[in-house]
Amino acid sequence: MIVAERKPFAEIREMVRGPKRLLILGCGTCVTVCLAGGAKEAALLASTLRLANRKAGIKQVIEEATIERQCDREFFEPVRAAIARADAVLSMACGVGVQFAGELFAGKPVLPALDTSFYGANESVGVWSERCVGCGQCVLDRFGGICPVARCSKSLFNGPCGGSKNGMCEVDPQTIPCGWQLIYDRLKALGRLEQLEALQPLKDWRPGRDGGPRKIVRDDMTP
């Protein structure tokens, strides 16, 4: 899922200082799961902003709503009237949702309440860690299902660097496992260590960002 964190309150407050009527719009999918932008977080932020405004003597009408996803057009239908009433929308979605809302409502400022971080997994309660960078050319089959792009701090494709020690990465030997140690251990457990003997070619990054924003078109679903 996409993992994000809420921006510092001071940054958000400065961002929304101008609009007389503000809609805080939560997103009910990824950012709800990572406790950053769902209905509860939207309500808490709205309450905090109202309190801060009251103390500062600022008159600002703040509404709040949450939709299932801000990356799908159909889910905006229930909040069209609320968006129309607002002078600005403070989106609690990831960067995709912020931009898509801005495209759908081009005459309305859509502001980001979150900092989008990565594609991650929920390791334990309150802990999310990166597993994918969306590079556009998945190589998990070669590395036992562990991505060297996301898990190796240097995104190396043919073994660890000289900074790996005791299975930990030199970037932070206390908390970051060496991605290549993870790959080795996984392939060993699978009985497929011979895969490491194959020299991996340099990664072709062109399916990623070369040529502008990526797009997938399903001809069988388009009119």
pLDDT in tens, 66-116: 999 999 999 999 999 999 999 999 999 999 999 999 999 999 999 999 999
Q: Return d(Cα 85, Cα 93) in angstroms, integer.
A: 20
Q: Classify strands 21-27 and 61-67 as parallel, antiparallel or unpaired.
A: parallel
Please state, as a whole number, how many other Cβ atoms lie within 10 Å of the Cβ of residue 98. Answer: 23
CB-based burial label for 131 (10 Å; 0-12, 13-18, 19+): middle
Q: Is 30's pLDDT higher than 90?
A: yes
Domain regions of the chain by residue span: 2-117, 135-209
Taking all residues of the chain, what is their mean pLDDT, rounded to a whole number?
Answer: 93
pLDDT level of residue 222 (50, 70, 90 thresholds): confident
Please state, as a whole number, how many other Cβ atoms lie within 10 Å of the Cβ of residue 83. Answer: 19
Q: Is 207's pLDDT higher than 70?
A: no
pLDDT level of residue 203 (50, 70, 90 thresholds): confident
The DSSP bridge partners found for residue 130 are 120
Amino acid at 68: E
2-117: which CATH architecture? 3-Layer(aba) Sandwich (3.40)
